[in-house]
């Protein structure tokens, strides 16, 4: 009797039922679309962040370079005393591997071990970001005037742990040819190349790449593999084992060498819930360090991606909630109105001996059925909306980072030379927004549909339950 | 048997209190057919509602067998209505979305009768009132007389002890009125149930075993049972 009565009653007021279901469908569809879009934006932000310092890295630890620590930026030409003026026509070529241009200070490698031993840290790895500055040319004209024809070239070098595993920038790169670092490569002159750099310089596994050192000489590194960074990443051009980078790199002024030094530590927490506490522990361990979480970095993301995220999270969310509340209210009001029109019917049923709860159950059953129909339509609308978002959303831009400026290289290298090799850490990446509809989002939709039905049914049922049979039947004469 | 003692019913309205029933005393024997007549708006339907446990008096007692309807909670009254009392309304009050058979079945739902037995009993009830061939028709597809027959079948399908009818022929033409009244009489005789009809139609009241007049909320003597049916 329950299902027969329910079916027939919904058929009798099919227009009202469709109207209510459509209202619920709109609200639920909007919630699904906005949630899917927000998930897509979050994924895009994750892509941007992962591209910066690798999948699996939750925290990065850096220090700011001390003032005046830029350098050494001077090297000799033609040997002899540093202040000897070279003769006209002297050709020189120097390749300096320096940490100064990265604008980062250094910390001891022992800090990596200390951080690894902190509670809730699942992995930690250090890296040394360096820049290979090549200056070459021929001394021409009067030595006093200092005229010369100088060519400069630079590429970025990252000294990475050969066993860094799931943290660090290499963790998000894909090996496209050759092999990656092995444990036995720790002290070897082997290098991985970024795919773009390799293509530009026509290098492949088996080739060699020259990397400078602190004295201006070069060391040949054998290319063992090529890695492709994820879209939007700005990886180093050349990756060499950390120990080799520490041995070769020129220490900043005031430091003896880069041995056992790193300037970036990548840390993975055991769970997302522990990131905050790990961040605090690292800050206590290294008070002078800058400890940045993915969340902190996410806050630094600017550009249209950030605006889209804000739109999805704020306006989109509240719009969806407002529409859903309106749909629930409408469903409740219409259900109560339908109950009011059926006063005589319910009064008769009570006269026949039907208990209030059976009548309330009938009303709620009808409402839940409408809610489920609305929910199913809402899921369809949500899928369509999400597909539309993914199809028509313009490419978003995300900008992260800040321009260098804290280190002051100083030294005799001319400003024009220095300017050509200075680096900026501002990254602007383009990402395509998707709007994935996940199982959890569909479950949310079903929950909302049932909740909507129950809520409207509760209002209507409450009204039906309060009817006294005599009042429900009205004046009979 | 019904025994009403000092029953009053007052309604609060915007203009004060309306006394629908004033100190009604009434005894209805088991198996009696009583017609209650009176002008419109003088408390007839109110009295019927109290007899059916659809409402409760402001004061007094209403005993149905050993049940004091005036002292019962709504859930208890609901059970009494479900088991003992059948109702027939002037406007038929059928569920518009259910067929004739399904409407009759609604009276058996509160008794927890299994679906198959419900269908069988409903079919028999419709046969009793001569509407077997209309079992699958909706109320909108039936005439007034046919709808009232369905309502009678619904009232009787649970074998009640009491049948309360409020102007059962009020919406019917003369011919159908006689038809329905004849059917009620026939069923009353066959089943020996207690039948109380509220009507302003003297033609209907004349066929009852006894009548009472209700005017301005007070019950006065009408016609006493003129014939004594051996079955009562």
**Closest approach of chain A CAs to the CA of B114, in angstroms?**
10
Chain B nearest C-alpha distance from A458 (Å): 20
- Answer yes or no: are the C-beta atoms of B179 and B207 closer than 8 Å: no
Residue B76 touches partner A, C-beta closer than 8 Å: no
Restricting to B residues 176-195, those with a Cβ less than 8 Å away from any Cβ of A are none
Q: What is the pLDDT of residues B162-172, one digit of tens each?
A: 999 998 888 88
* Helix residue ranges, H only, A135-239: 195-200
Q: Check CB contact of A391 with chain B, cutoff 8 Å.
A: no
| DSSP track, A257-305 | --TTEESEEEEEESSGGGHHHHHHHHHHH-TTSEEEEHHHHHHH-BSHH
Put simply, whether B128 touches A (Cβ < 8 Å) is no
User: Which of A145, A2, A28 has its CA nearest to residue A85?
Assistant: A145
**Looking at the domain assignment, is residue B15 inside a domain?**
yes
Q: Does residue B11 belong to any structural domain of this protein?
A: yes
Any CB–CB contact under 8 A between B44 and chain A? yes
> By the 8 A CB rule, do A393 and A434 touch?
no
Q: How far apart are CA A136 and CA A114, in angstroms?
A: 42
A350 neighbourhood in chain B, CB within 8 Å: 54, 78, 81
Q: Residue B228: inside a domain, yes or no?
A: no
A414 touches chain B (CB under 8 A): no
The pair of structure tokens assigned to B67 is 């049940």
Closest CA to A131 of A92, A168, A96, A93: A96
Low-confidence spans in chain B with pLDDT less than 70: 223-232
Q: Looking at the whole model, is its pTM more than 0.80?
A: no
Task: Among A1, A344, A351, select the one facing B105 at the smallest CB separation.
Answer: A1
Q: What is the pLDDT of residue A115?
A: 93
Chain A contact for B71 (CB, 8 A cutoff): no
Q: Does A67 touch chain B (CB under 8 A)?
A: no
Å from A344 to nearest chain B CA?
A: 7
- Separation in Å, CA A157 to CA A103, A160, A192, A259, B118: 14, 9, 10, 16, 86
Q: Are residues B167 and A476, on separate chains, in Cβ contact within 8 Å?
A: yes
Residues 6+ apart with CB under 8 A from A216: A75, A76, A94, A95, A96
Q: Which domain holds residue B13?
A: 2-221
The ipTM assigned to this model is 0.90
Q: What is the pLDDT of residue A209?
A: 93
Q: Which of A240, A229, A192 is nearest to A52 (CA)?
A: A229
Helix, strand, coil shares, percent, chain A, to 5: 45, 20, 30
Q: Which of A344, A345, A350, A353 to mutate to test the interface with B (most CBs of B within 10 A)?
A: A353
The answer to whether A355 contacts B83, with C-beta atoms less than 8 Å apart, is: no
The CATH number that applies at residue B169 is 3.40.50.300
- Assigned domain for B101 exists: yes
Q: How far apart are CA B169 and CA B182, in angstroms?
A: 11
Q: Per residue of chain A (477 residues), give pLDDT as tens.
A: 899 999 998 898 898 889 888 888 888 888 888 888 877 877 777 666 666 555 567 888 988 776 655 554 555 555 444 455 667 777 777 888 887 655 678 888 899 999 999 999 998 999 998 899 888 887 766 545 555 567 888 899 999 888 766 777 788 788 999 999 988 998 999 999 999 999 999 999 999 999 988 887 889 999 999 999 877 667 889 999 999 999 998 876 666 678 888 988 999 888 878 888 999 999 999 998 889 887 776 666 666 666 666 666 677 777 777 877 887 888 788 877 877 788 888 889 999 999 988 988 888 888 889 888 888 898 899 889 888 888 887 776 666 554 333 333 333 333 333 333 333 455 566 667 777 778 888 888 788 888 888 888 887 777 777 777 777 676 333
Residue of B nearest to A9 (CA): B97
Q: Nearest to residue A94, comparing CAs of A459, A438, A417?
A: A417
Asked if B97 lies within 8 A of A476 by C-beta distance, the reply is no
Q: Does B107 touch chain A (CB under 8 A)?
A: yes
Task: Write the CB contacts of B186 (distance below 8 Å, at least 6 apart in sequence).
Answer: none
- Chain B residues touching residue A358 (CB < 8 angstroms): 109-110
Distance from CA of B125 to the nearest CA of A (A): 16
Tell me if residue B224 falls in helix, strand or coil. coil
Give the separation between CA A260 and CA A398, rounded to whole angstroms. 35
Number of CB pairs, chain A paired with chain B, less than 8 A apart: 95
Residues of B in contact with A9 (CB under 8 A): 97
Q: Does the CB of A474 have a partner CB in chain B at under 8 Å?
A: no
Residue A157, pLDDT score: 92
Angle at A412 between CA A409 and CA A413, to 5 degrees: 70
Asked, for residue B230, whether it belongs to a domain, the answer is no
* B131 and B153 Cβ atoms separated by less than 8 Å: yes
B231 assigned to some structural domain: no
A467 touches chain B (CB under 8 A): no
- Say if B75 falls within a structural domain: yes
Residue spans of the domains in chain A: they are 2-44+306-395+435-473, 64-288
- Picking from B54, B110, B200, the nearest residue to A354 by CB comes out as B110
User: What are the chain A neighbours of B109 within 8 Å (beta carbons)?
Assistant: 1, 352, 354, 358
* Residue with the two structure tokens 């406007």: B91
Terminal alpha carbon distance of chain B = 11
Interface contact A353-B45, CB threshold 8 A: no
Distance, CA of A236 to CA of A101 (rounded, Å):
13
Determine, for residues B52 and A5 on separate chains, whether the beta-carbon distance falls below 8 Å.
no
Which site among A12, A344, A351, A365 would you substitute to test the B interface, given the most B Cβ atoms closer than 10 Å to its Cβ? A351
pLDDT score, position A90? 74
């Amino acid at each position: 009797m329950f299902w027969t009565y329910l079916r027939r009653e919904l058929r009798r007021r099919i227009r009202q039922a469709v109207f209510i279901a459509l209202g619920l469908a709109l609200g639920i569809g909007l919630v699904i679309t906005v949630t899917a879009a927000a998930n897509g934006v979050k994924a895009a932000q994750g892509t941007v962040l992962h591209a910066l310092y690798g999948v699996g890295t939750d925290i990065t630890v850096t220090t700011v370079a001390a003032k005046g620590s830029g350098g050494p930026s001077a090297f000799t030409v033609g040997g002899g005393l540093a202040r000897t003026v070279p003769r006209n026509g002297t050709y020189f070529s120097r390749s300096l591997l320096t940490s100064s241009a990265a604008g980062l200070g250094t910390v001891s490698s022992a800090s990596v071990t200390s951080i690894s031993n902190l509670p809730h840290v699942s992995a930690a790895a250090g890296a040394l970001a360096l820049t290979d500055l090549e200056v070459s040319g021929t001394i021409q004209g009067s030595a006093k005037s200092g005229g010369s024809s100088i060519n400069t070239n630079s590429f970025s070098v990252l000294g990475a742990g050969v066993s860094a595993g799931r943290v660090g920038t290499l963790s998000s790169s894909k090996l496209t040819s050759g092999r990656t670092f092995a444990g036995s490569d720790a002290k070897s002159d082997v290098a991985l190349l970024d795919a773009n750099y390799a293509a530009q310089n026509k290098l492949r596994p088996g080739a060699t790449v020259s990397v400078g050192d602190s004295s201006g000489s070069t060391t040949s590194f054998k290319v063992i593999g090529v890695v492709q960074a994820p879209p939007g990443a700005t990886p180093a051009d050349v990756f060499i084992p950390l120990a080799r980078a520490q041995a070769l790199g020129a220490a900043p002024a005031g430091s003896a060498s880069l041995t056992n030094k790193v300037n970036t530590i990548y840390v993975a927490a055991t769970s997302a819930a522990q990131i905050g506490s790990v961040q605090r522990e690292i800050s206590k361990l290294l008070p002078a360090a800058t400890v940045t979480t993915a969340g902190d970095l996410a806050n630094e993301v600017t550009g249209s991606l950030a605006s889209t995220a804000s739109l999805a999270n704020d306006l989109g969310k509240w719009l969806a909630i407002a529409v859903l509340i309106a749909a629930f209210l409408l469903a409740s009001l219409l259900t109560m109105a339908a109950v009011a029109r059926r006063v005589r019917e319910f009064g008769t049923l009570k006269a026949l001996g039907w208990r209030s709860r059976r009548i309330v159950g009938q009303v709620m059953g009808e409402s839940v059925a409408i809610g489920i129909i609305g929910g199913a339509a809402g899921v369809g609308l949500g899928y369509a909306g999400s597909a539309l978002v993914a199809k028509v959303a313009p490419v978003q831009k995300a900008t992260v980072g800040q321009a260098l400026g804290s280190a002051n290289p100083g030294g005799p290298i001319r400003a024009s030379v220095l300017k050509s090799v200075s680096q900026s850490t501002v990254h602007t990446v383009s990402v395509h927004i998707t709007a994935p509809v996940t199982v959890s989002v569909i479950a949310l939709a079903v929950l909302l549909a049932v909740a909507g039905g129950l809520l409207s049914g509760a209002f209507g049922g409450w009204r039906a339950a309060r009817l006294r049979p005599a009042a429900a039947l009205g004046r009979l004469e | 048997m019904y025994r009403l003692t000092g029953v009053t019913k007052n309604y609060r309205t915007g203009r004060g209190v309306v006394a629908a029933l004033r100190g009604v005393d009434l005894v209805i024997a088991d198996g009696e057919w009583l017609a209650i007549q009176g002008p419109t708006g003088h408390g007839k339907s109110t009295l019927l509602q109290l007899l059916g446990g659809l409402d409760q008096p402001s004061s007094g007692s209403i005993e149905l067998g050993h049940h004091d309807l005036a002292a019962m909670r709504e859930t208890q009254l609901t059970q009494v209505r479900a088991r003992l009392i059948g109702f027939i309304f002037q406007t038929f009050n059928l569920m518009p979305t259910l067929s004739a058979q399904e409407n009759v079945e609604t009276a058996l739902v509160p008794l927890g009768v299994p679906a198959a037995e419900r269908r069988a009993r409903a079919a028999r009830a419709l046969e009793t009132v001569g509407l077997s061939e209309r079992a699958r028709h909706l109320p909108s597809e039936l005439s007034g007389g046919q709808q009232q027959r369905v309502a009678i079948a619904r009232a009787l399908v649970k074998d009640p002890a009491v049948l309360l009818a409020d102007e059962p022929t009020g919406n019917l033409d003369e011919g159908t009125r006689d038809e329905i009244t004849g059917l009620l009489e026939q069923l009353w005789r066959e089943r020996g149930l207690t039948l109380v009809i509220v009507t302003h139609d003297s033609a209907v009241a004349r066929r009852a075993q006894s009548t009472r007049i209700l005017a301005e909320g007070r019950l006065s003597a009408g016609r006493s049972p003129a014939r004594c049916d051996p079955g009562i």
